[in-house]
Every structure is written in C-alpha cells, then in structure tokens.
C-alpha cells in the first residue's frame, strides 16, 4: 500500500471517528478538547469559578497578602506557622505536579514492578501481534525472534501492544526497541534537561526489521520509554494509536535524599518526540479512543498465555467481523448471539471477556485492506 493511500484513508477514518464523537453527548469535564492544563486556565465568564480557578487567578501581591492576613487573623495561629506553610507548599506541588514529584519514606520503599514477558502471536493468519511487556534486554531478544518469524510469513500488518509496558529509566533499551521500526539515521526522541540546559538526542543506527502497516495499542499503563516508542512509531510509520492516553511519565527521574532520610523523587528531564513535542506530563493521545477496564485487560493478558488472543477478539462459535460485514454495515457477532438467545428464550448470558481495543485495531486493518483492493 502506498503512503499516499494509507495517509488518505487514515484521515478518512479519523474524520469519521471525530464526527461520531461530536454527535455523542459529552459528560462534564470530558470534552475532547479538554487537557490537563485546563485546570489552570481562566474560568468561563458564565461558569462559577472553582477554588482552583480562584487560586490560579491570584497574582504575587495577592498571594503575599493572603498569607499575611491568614497569619494575623486565623483563629488558630499554630496552624499557619512557617513549617505548616512549607508543608502546604510541598503538598500543593505534589498535587499540581502528579507525575513530576513524589515523596518516598526511604530508598528501599521505592516500588519495583516484576518484569512482564513479551507475548507474540499471528492473528487470523495474516496480522502479527506483539505485546512488548517490559522494555528490557530479554524482551528485546524475544521481539527480534518474533519479527524474523513475521517477516518470513509475509504478514499484512503488525499490532504493537504497549498496554503492558510500564515506565523504565533505561532509555538505551527503549531506543533499541524503537530502532526495530524506525528508519536509519532518524532521531527517535530527545531527553531534554532544562535545568542543565542540555539535550541528549537518541537516533536510529539500523534499518527497521518490519516494513508495513503498524497499529499501536496504548493506555494509562503505557509509561516512560514506551510513550516515546509510541510517539516515534506515529511519526515514522504513520501508525495509528488505539486505546487511551498514555501515563504521562515520559521523563527521567532522580531520587534526592532529604536530611531526615526520606526521598524526594523529581522529574529532572523530559522526553521530546521527533517532531519536537514534549511527552511529559500530558503523554500521547490516541487517534482512535477506545475504553476498556483495567480488570478486563489484565484478565485477558493472563489467559492469553494458554488460549491466545484470538478468543478474546474472534469469539469461538460465532462469526467475526469480515470484509463483507464491514461493507454491508452488519455485525455477525451480535446477530448470532441474538438469534441464539431467542431460540433458548433465556436471559442474556454474561458476555465473555473481550478486547475492544485490539478489535478496533484489527477492524482498521481490515478496512485498509478493503480500500487497497478497490
């Protein structure tokens, strides 16, 4: 498929998706144009300003006057000592910078996650599926073997699932993952440290191991180097991102010791995408938003080791969405389930575990194949 056809059809899909979203009613605070920075924007003239809106509207003289007035007028002077004011400052910064500052009891209390293994599969005999898991050297080697296998089978497309790829500070390993998909000589991401006024660019020095259509799955568990990988795939492979916004922890953190033994974890450098956009703290937004509960996702990932991912997309005994169904606008899965229920005359059964994020990605791949054949 040519890049022109892919780009043209991709824009058609995105336009349809955005149009559908515009027709659906939005819950308060869930506007598609809202961002994390909306909490500190100016309140609407017609809306009652929130406490956060009012605090953000205070300029330096107002803030100083408020502190002075509180110290001299509050009924309990002990509640507004310099120590309490400093505690409130730290607490407020941790609230306002949730991905930037964290207080730990000690070094040993820093949470450590068990590494998640890589999982690979060929879906429907034509689409490669890679759930990368932790971005570490063991999974990198496993991914290389899977990509060699996929290349030998001449697959139509590849789904890169980053929903089990939590944060890592090993940016060198994250770069190696990105090199398998991005062109030689291109910048993959930049680590920008404003305090030191220095940037460290990470570039690809090898040819990609896969050439073809790539879909990326992401959500709030996609963090750190995985967020930079998602951004690079979007830029260089025109990959569509399906799912939910990433964690917004694409940063380098330093653990700074406090005199009392506690640890202040601070984001000291931010990851910047190839087109120059910071990935911290807003993360990467999906092109096709799809909701899915964390509990359902974890259950499916656990069961996929023995059942594969197919049963959670193509339900056994029921026809799955194909080219004819997409063209006709029908849903064989729903129709088959409805017919079975009517024959039995029973109450609806609890639906089996289903992965709507992966399903949406596979539907897009099928749609692109239809478009290419026309």
Cα 128 from Cα 126, distance rounded (Å): 7
Considering the chain, what is the average pLDDT of its residues? Answer: 84
Would strands 213-218 and 240-243 be described as parallel, antiparallel, or unpaired?
Answer: parallel
Whether the CB-CB separation of 333 and 320 falls below 8 Å is answered with yes
Task: Say how many C-beta atoms besides its own lie within 10 A of residue 110's C-beta.
Answer: 13
pLDDT digits over 306-355, tens only?
Answer: 999 999 998 554 455 566 665 666 666 556 656 666 666 665 566 678 99
Q: Give the pair of three-digit tokens for residue 244.
A: 């939910």
Q: Is the peptide bond before 281 cis (omega within 30 degrees of 0)?
A: yes
Q: Exposed, middle or buried, 194 (CB in 10 Å: 0-12/13-18/19+)?
A: exposed
In this prediction, residue 336 carries a pLDDT of 61
What's the confidence (pLDDT) of residue 26? 39
- Give the long-range contacts of residues 324-333, CB within 8 A, separation 24 or more: 326/363, 326/366, 326/367, 326/370, 327/370
Q: pLDDT: is 304 or 21 the higher one? A: 304
Distance CA 70, CA 209 (A): 63
- Assign 14 a pLDDT band (cuts: 50, 70, 90): very low
Q: What is the mean pLDDT of residues 184-191?
A: 96
Average of per-residue pLDDT across 130-155 = 95
Tell me the domains of the chain and their CATH numbers. 47-96 (no CATH), 113-289 (3.90.226.10)
Residue bearing tokens 């080219």: 323
Is the torsion defined by CA of 47, 50, 52, 57 positive or negative?
positive
Predicted pLDDT of residue 337: 58
pLDDT in tens, 18-32: 334 433 443 333 433
Model pTM score: 0.78
The pLDDT tens digits for 255-287 are 999 999 999 999 999 999 999 999 999 999 999
């Amino acid at each position: 498929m040519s890049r022109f056809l892919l780009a043209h059809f991709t824009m058609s899909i995105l336009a349809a998706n955005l149009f559908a979203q515009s027709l659906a009613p939005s819950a308060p605070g869930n506007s598609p144009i809202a961002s994390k920075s909306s909490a500190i924007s100016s309140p609407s003239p017609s809306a009652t300003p929130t406490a956060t809106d009012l605090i953000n509207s205070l300029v330096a003289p107002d803030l100083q006057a408020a502190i002075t007035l509180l110290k001299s007028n509050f009924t309990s002077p002990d509640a507004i000592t310099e120590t309490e004011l400093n505690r409130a400052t730290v607490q407020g910064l941790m609230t306002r910078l949730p991905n930037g500052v964290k207080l730990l009891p000690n070094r040993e209390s820093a949470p450590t996650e068990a590494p998640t293994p890589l999982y690979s599969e060929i879906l429907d005999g034509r689409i490669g599926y890679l759930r990368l898991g932790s971005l570490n050297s063991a999974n990198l080697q496993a991914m290389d073997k899977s990509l060699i296998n996929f290349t030998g089978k001449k697959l139509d497309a590849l789904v890169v699932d980053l929903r089990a790829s939590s944060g890592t500070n090993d940016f060198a390993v994250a770069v190696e993952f990105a090199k398998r998909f991005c062109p030689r000589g291109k910048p993959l991401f930049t680590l920008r440290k404003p305090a030191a006024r220095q940037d460290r660019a990470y570039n690809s020095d090898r040819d990609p191991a896969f050439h073809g259509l790539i879909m990326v799955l992401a959500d709030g568990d996609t963090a750190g180097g995985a967020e930079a990988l998602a951004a690079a795939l979007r830029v260089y492979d025109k990959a569509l991102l399906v799912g939910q916004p990433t964690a917004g922890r694409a940063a380098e953190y330093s653990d700074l010791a406090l005199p009392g033994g506690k640890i202040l974890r601070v984001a000291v450098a931010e990851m910047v995408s190839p087109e120059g956009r910071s990935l911290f703290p807003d993360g990467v937004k999906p092109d096709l938003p799809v909701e899915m509960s964390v509990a359902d996702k974890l259950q499916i990932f656990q069961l996929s080791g023995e059942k594969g991912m197919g049963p959670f997309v193509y339900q056994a005994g029921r026809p799955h969405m194909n080219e004819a169904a997409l063209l006709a606008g029908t849903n064989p899965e729903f129709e088959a389930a409805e017919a079975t229920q009517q024959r039995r005359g029973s109450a609806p059964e609890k639906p089996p575990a289903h992965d709507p994020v992966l399903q949406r990605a596979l539907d897009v791949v099928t749609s692109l194949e239809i478009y290419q054949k026309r």
